[in-house]
Amino acid sequence: MSYIDESLSAGEKVEGLFRLHWTAWLWVWLWVLLAIPTLGLTLFVALYVYLQLKYQERGVTNKRVILKKGIIGRKTEEMKLTSIETVEIEQGVFGRLLGFGTVKITGRGVSDFLFTGIDDPMAVKRTIESIGNPIE
């Protein structure tokens, strides 16, 4: 039941209800048509970023640190543990509050190695340092 029907007083009756012409809805459909490609592009970019993050592998073995990127093509970076000079942590305010950060590994004669967006970077640093410099 419409508002007009509900708000009738005693003895009052509706003589006519009027609809909007289809052109009044034109702006709505124009915005919908503009939103479809924008939404499609947004979803495509989001899927691309998701897949890039999903197919990254970061890890440490007893001999080297490894970073692999790529879905179809592959890019790997590796550094021998014996080549590591420093392991640093970079965390902003949100990183400290939420427990994530960047682990920066610097080696001899090798460019810096970055693990970005890592969960619990302090544990990663301790793991790399304990394997690289085992206590005997």
The domain locations on the chain are: 16-54, 57-132
Tens-place pLDDT, residues 76-132: 989 998 889 999 999 999 999 999 999 999 988 767 889 999 999 999 999 999 887
Compute φ and ψ for 71, nearest 5 degrees. Answer: -100, -60
- Where residue 136 falls among pLDDT bands split at 50, 70, 90? very low
Tens-place pLDDT, residues 14-53: 888 888 888 888 999 999 999 999 999 999 999 999 999 9
Neighbouring C-beta atoms of residue 103, cutoff 10 Å? 23
Comparing 133 with 59, the larger pLDDT belongs to: 59
Neighbouring C-beta atoms of residue 42, cutoff 10 Å? 11
Query: 57-132: what fold?
Result: PH-domain like (2.30.29)
Distance, CA of 128 to CA of 110 (rounded, Å): 17
Distance, CA of 68 to CA of 52 (rounded, Å): 11
SS3 2: coil
